[in-house]
Amino acid sequence: MVKFKLKVEARQFFSESYAKEIQEMKFWERLGIPKQLLDEVDNVYIEYGHEKQLSKDAKAINLCGWSGTKNEAEFLFTIKIKDISNFAYSKVDVPKLMDEMQKVVSKFFKPLLNDENQDG
């Protein structure tokens, strides 16, 4: 099942919620968004949020939050890997993956924290 997301340069013309969507072509067709504005997603991708099944027919997605009492933010992501065998899945080095992800997250957020501290 091939999935698509909005191209980076197209995101400015649509609701911010669509910039986070990774969906099959039928979703984008229902919105009237042409394939030229979409990028095909690889078998390994990151979705924004964590999906929860509430009941047989209902689900919810937790995205992020900020706590004023803790002065803390939380952003939730899900790594999706399509067409992976159980053997390959069992070989995933989770600590190494987390170490690499930490580098990227730190590179992204540390400048924001430094800018905030200069304002106040």
Could you tell me which of 59, 53, 97, 27 has the C-alpha nearest to residue 14?
27
pTM of the entire structure?
0.67
- DSSP, collapsed to helix, strand or coil, labels residue 28 as helix
Q: What is the pLDDT of residues 57-110, one digit of tens each?
A: 887 888 888 888 888 899 999 998 988 899 999 999 999 999 999 999 999 999
Q: What's the pLDDT tens digit per position in 22-53? A: 899 999 999 999 999 999 998 888 888 888 88
